[in-house]
Amino acid sequence: MVIHYGVPLQFSVYYSLLEQHTLTEMVEKLIAIINDKEDDIRIYPIQGTTLENWPKPGFSGSDKYLLIN
């Protein structure tokens, strides 16, 4: 599913350059399919991006992913 949003770098690691609405869409889709007991979602902004384009932790009232600044 994530392959539609970015380039795979390793198993379950992807590089993506996304606008806010696309990032939101991807995270919502991932939350819907992960196993809460085994999986987690981690989103790392990389150098060269602006943090104002990234959601704050707790996005959509969910604790199902981790945004690391």
The pLDDT of residue 25 is: 92
Do 26 and 2 contact (CB within 8 A), yes or no? yes
φ, ψ for residue 13 (rounded to 5)?
Answer: -125, 125
Do 38 and 26 contact (CB within 8 A), yes or no? no
Q: Which residues contact 19 (CB under 8 A, 6 or more apart)?
A: 53
Percent of the chain whose predicted confidence (pLDDT) is above 70: 67
What pairs with residue 42 in β-bridges? 66
The pLDDT of residue 60 is: 45
CB count within 10 Å of CB 23 equals 19
Q: What is the mean pLDDT of residues 17-38?
A: 89
* Predicted TM-score of the model (pTM): 0.63
